[in-house]
Amino acid sequence: MKNIAVIYWSGTGNTQQMALAVAEGAKGQDISVDVKEVGSATLKDIEDSDAVALGCPSMGCEVLEESEMEPFVQAMEGLDLKGKPVVLFGSFDWGDGQWMADWEERMTSLGVKLADVGLKVHNTPDEAGLELCRELGRKLALA
């Protein structure tokens, strides 16, 4: 059975909606999906998974949320992630999505295999945005 971890931080619920849709898309026969807020996730969740989806909205000057998600991502730098399939997603309100490009570059430098480009949704995801999230989950499940 393939194990997928979906770990996210959400302040307004937008990224949480995205996380649940990614998980919905990833679920299938012989695939187990575990969805956790980053505050309750551990590095063991990453190590024990076959693939990982990470979600975080753009905060401040287009950076990751600094009290929980940033420390978690920093801690991941100590893991052997070479070749592990990963997707990134998050919502944003303004800017051009630079936080996602920076996050993709950072994760790639850790050796992960990005299963798709990072998914950005403006503010609250509509049905089309949620379908993009489900498709991202399907791509991760196949990676």
List the domain boundaries for the chain. Answer: 2-142
Which residues 6+ apart lie within 8 Å of 70 measured at CB? 63, 64
- Rounded average pLDDT over 116-141: 97
pLDDT in tens, 65-110: 999 999 999 999 999 999 999 999 999 988 788 999 999 999 999 9
Which residues 6+ apart lie within 8 Å of 30 measured at CB? 1, 2
Token readout for 96 is: 């051009």
What is the reported pLDDT for 87?
99
What is the reported pLDDT for 61?
84
Contact of 33 with 21, CB cutoff 8 Å: no
What is the reported pLDDT for 115?
97
Taking 90 as the threshold, does the pLDDT of residue 112 lie above it? yes
CATH class of 2-142: alpha beta
pLDDT in tens, 16-55: 999 999 999 999 889 999 999 999 999 999 999 999 999 9
What is the reported pLDDT for 60?
86
Between CA 113 and CA 91 the distance in angstroms is 22
pTM reported for the whole predicted model = 0.97
Other residues' Cβ atoms within 10 Å of the Cβ of residue 98: 13
What is the reported pLDDT for 68?
97
Q: How far is CA 10 from CA 65, 76, 126, in A?
A: 9, 19, 16
